[in-house]
Amino acid sequence: MPYCGPLGSHPLCGGAYKCAQRVLHMVAISVPPDASASGVLPGAQFADAFRLTVRDSDLDAIAASKRVFERAPAWVAALLRLRNTIVAPLGLRGTDDPIGQSAPRRIGWFPVVSETPDRVVLGFNDKHLDFRIVVDSAADSEGGRQITATTLVRRHNVFGRAYLAAVMPFHKVIVPTMLMAANRR
């Protein structure tokens, strides 16, 4: 990891050590979900969000979503294949299932619900739950972008509650890991 700059040039660390601010740009952190995202899935009973600051000042939400969801690590792809195998006999959608006319395209595994340069909404409705992934891109004060991935879930039944409980430990590792791909070109 590079230094902040020449010795004495940075107010936080003086340039002598790797700056703590630079480290923050290398990891996705948990943040409170933005209140504006809640309108994407009214009645959602679960929401969480992770944020990554990137130096790419031109990275909009569409490009960030593609970086994050079109190049998953092999272990994430393997977990999704396992998930598809487990849920198929239960009649739930898999990540490769047809998406119908209401969402004509995908980014990675997920149908696109809506998109603007500042916000992409991915997700679909299923028998047990409805979910949305909201990817926001906003300018930060240092000339970079803050990329935030917010997950919203509205459960329909006991199976939806059980499913969410079962995937939650994986979700809390997968989302920040995948969000880090926004730093790669």
134-149 pLDDT, tens digit each: 999 999 888 889 999 9
pLDDT tens per residue, range 15-35: 444 444 444 456 888 898 988
pLDDT tens per residue, range 87-124: 777 666 666 555 544 546 889 888 999 999 999 999 98
CATH entry, 25-183, from 1.20.1530, 3.30.530, 3.40.50, 3.40.1710: 3.30.530
Give me the count of residues in the chain: 185
- DSSP one-letter string for the chain: ---SSSTT--TTTTTSS--HHHHHTTS-EEEPPPGGGGGGSTT-SEEEEEEEEES-TT--HHHHHHHHHSS--HHHHHHHHHHHHHHGGGTPPPTTS---TTS--EETTEEEEEE-SSEEEEEEE-SSEEEEEEEEEEE-TTSSEEEEEEEEEEE-SHHHHHHHHHHHHHHHHHHHHHHGGGG--
Reported confidence tier of residue 158, pLDDT bands at 50, 70, 90:
very high
Query: What residue segments make up the domains of the chain, in order of their start?
Result: 25-183
How confident is the prediction for the chain on average, in pLDDT?
Answer: 80
Q: What pTM value is reported for the model?
A: 0.79
Window from 28-42, 51-65, 83-97, 141-155 with minimum mean pLDDT = 83-97
Reported confidence tier of residue 160, pLDDT bands at 50, 70, 90:
confident
